Each structure stands twice: as C-alpha cells, then as structure tokens.
Homo-oligomer: A and B are copies of this chain.
Amino acid sequence: MKIVVIGSGTAGSNFALFMRKLDRKAEIIVIGKEPTMQYSPCALPHVISGTIEKPEDVIVFPNEFYERQRIKLMLNTEAKAIDRERKVVITEKGEVPYDKLVLAVGSRAFIPPIKGVENEGVFTLKSLDDVRKIKAYITEKKPKRAVVIGAGLIGLEGAEAFAKLGIEVLVVELMDRLMPTMLDRDMATLVQKEMEKHGVSFRFGVGVSEIIGSPVKAVKIGDEEVEADLVLVATGVRANVDLAKKAGLEVNRGIVVNEHLQTSDPNIYAIGDCAEVVDAATGQRILSQLGTSAVRMAKVAAEHIAGKDVSFRPVFNTAITELFGLEIGTFGMTEERAKKEGVEIVVGKFKGSTKPEYYPGGKPITVKVIFRKSDRKLIGAQIVGGERVWGRIMTLSALAQKGATVEDLVYLETAYAPPISPTIDPITVAAEMALRRFR
C-alpha cells in the first residue's frame, strides 16, 4: 500500500509515525513545503522570549529519524493538485501516486486587510521562519514598543515574550476582552489585570486601521496614532482548503470529514488544522486547530487506514497557557457563546485558594463551570489561577468527555494533601454553586 501525506506539521508527522507503527510494510511518503518535519507552533513565543534557546530546538525529531523508519520525505516541495481519477498528487517535482492520501495541510495566519500590513517590522507568529525573522529584527532594530493585533492565545503569548525582553507592549483587540473565544469577560479580566501588572497594556473594542512607516513607526487605532516599532499580527488562522477544493472535495471553513476523518472521497483523509471536527458541546462542525487534536486525528486516521474501526471523538478544545506565571485553562462552552447560540446553561463559579488556609504559599484560583440545563452535563469550564490550573482543567475536561453531570462533580473523589490542594477542592465548590442554581 502506498500512503501519501501532504503536510509535514504536527498532524502529518505524527500520522507518518503512527502509520509506520501499525503497518511495517506500507510505503509512506510525506510531501511538505517546509524543510523540516514537525515542530511545535505553540513553542514559538518561548523561542522569542529566549526561554527556548534556538529556533531549531523546537523541531521534535530530525528528518533522519523519519527516514530511519522508512518514511520517505519530499520536503521543500509543494503539492499543486490532486488527480483523484488517477490517484496521484501533482507536485512541482513530479507526480506521486497514492492508494490512500492524507491531507495534513494545516492552516495559515489570517492577515487582515490593514493598510501597511506588508511593511517592514510587521510579523505573524505561525512558523519557524516567522520566529527567525522576528528574532533577527529584534536583534538588529532593538524595538522599544510593540503593538500586538489580536488578544488570542498567540497574541498574548507573543505579548508576554516581548515584555520579557523589555519591550513595551500594547495589545489591540476588536472584541471586548482578551481570549474572547475561550474566556468570558469576568475570567478574561483576571488575566488582563495580571498582564497589566507586568506592563502589558490593552485596548479593546477597537482595531488597528493603519500601520505607518516601513520600518514601522506607528499604528493608527481609530483616529489615534500610537508609536510602535514592532507589530505582531495575531488575528487567528485559516484552514488551508484550496488544494481540497480544487480537487472537488467537500469544503466548508475546513475540509469536511466523516467520523473516520475521510473526506467526501473515501480514499482521502484530512487531519489537523485543515479539517473540521465535531464540537462536543454543541454537535456543530468546528475547526479545532489545537496540536493535541492534530495528534489524535493522526492516530485515528492511521488506525482507520490500517483497518481498525475507530472514530474521532467530538472535541471540547481543552487548552492551557501560562502568562507571567498565571495559568489559564479552558474548554467547551462559554457563557457568552451559550447566550448567542441559545443553549440554556447553569453556571457555578468559585474563587478559592490552591492550598488549605493553614499551609503557606497558597495562590488565588477562580473556577467557573458550565452545565447544560437540559441534561445537567458539564459542557465547559474556565480556570484562572496561580498554580495547579492544568490539573483541574484536565480533570474537568476528562469528566466532560465522559458525560459527567453536576452531581458527578459535587460528589467527585479528589486527591488532597496540605502542600498541594485543599480538602474540599475549588472545582467541587464551584459545582456546588451550580447545583444550588439547578433547584
């Protein structure tokens, strides 16, 4: 069997490795535009801040690692088209025939049509190449004031990286708060306050209308001109669907796939950022665009090609980040989204401490849990705190994935030790708050 993967990112690289484990004989070929296999896009802000020393450090395995596993690499190679009749991928370097084709073509940074967005000193933060350019620019120009356009995860992590380098940062966000798709306003405010303590400023509800100067000197926010010698455009990503569309595959915002991750052509799969998945909270088709989803999709596609009857499960888009020592964890439905989509929910919220009162060093933690009113199931959570947020969002997400109700949380067996957590965990108390509102 000849299995061809287009895309050498997280989804494509992991697919190739999973596939090789499941089928020692199959011919596996990866066609990729970039010169290397998988690296972690989430790690890029930490390369800018210098926490990770060299850009190359974030490459998970060297190309030889894949080649030793008899995965054939066609890197620095663009796939131009797919001929589904003849079952070949057409690249600039020739045709590659396939029995099964996997599209792992990822996403690209969305560049809003702002005047001057192509000027020198304006960057996106999506690829290793982006990071090299930003680092070179910072070394050469020693910028003093950065403007970050967009307050999503990448925007905020970029802002943190700049601030750690001593650059003054202003984040501009069209919505009324930071991390608007992941956090409600009350929770976003907690993060904002912490970032402001570390010198990051915010402007909400406005956009950047113009970038002035090349190299950049200022940006225009509404009518106001704000000095800036570095601009990061972090306004989200778009799934790469052109190749699929050209091949006549069904495409929405992402490539449409069934539960086995097959596109409308059963010999062609789509995985990772380019493919649509099912939202566990609503059943709607969404783009997940998380590395963890890409890895799980890679696994399911490889197993399905190997003949296993497996399905990709709906996702809650569980995410975690750390900003200036504050941990932020989220998944699933937010209060605001529920209102928009007309989902009746019951919310519980509790602000507590990460350790028992009597043990020194406890830090504030705020837990918000969101249940669907109709079936009492946990469909979302947001946690902001000084430590141990990750463990709590993992626990809550795992419970949601198993269909846990508010009662499951209220009577949940937790693990307690004085240096680590309180006897009655904040997640339990938050659930109790919600339970009262159910009555």
Contacts and interface: CB of A to CB of B under 8 A. Distances in A.
Interface of A: 10, 40, 42-43, 46, 51-52, 57-60, 290-293, 295-296, 299-300, 313, 315-316, 318-322, 327, 329, 331, 356-360, 388, 390-395, 397-399, 401-404, 408, 411-421, 423-424
A96 B282 CA distance: 56
A94 to B, nearest CB: 33
A397 B313 CA distance: 21
Contact of A292 (B327, B403, B414): B414
Given A46-B419, A52-B358, A397-B415, 4 more contacts: A40-B356, A388-B390, A391-B395, A399-B402
B390 A322 contact: no
Contacts of A390: 388, 391, 415, 420-421
Contact of A329 (B291, B296, B415): B415
Nearest to A357: B60
A421 B320 contact: yes
A320 B402 CA distance: 23
Contact of A360 (B51, B360, B415, B418): B51
Given A320-B421, A391-B394, A395-B391, A416 B292 contact: yes
A76 B315 CA distance: 55
A11 to B, nearest CB: 11
14 contacts: A40-B356, A40-B418, A43-B358, A58-B358, A60-B356, A291-B416, A292-B416, A320-B417, A327-B420, A388-B391, A394-B415, A398-B398, A398-B399, A399-B399
Given A290-B416, A398-B412, A51 B421 contact: no
A204 to B, nearest CB: 24
A91 B163 CA distance: 66
A195 to B, nearest CB: 16
A294 to B, nearest CB: 8
A357 B38 CA distance: 13
A327 B413 CA distance: 18
Contacts of A411: 296, 299-300, 313
B423 A10 contact: yes
Contact of A413 (B316, B417, B418, B424): B316
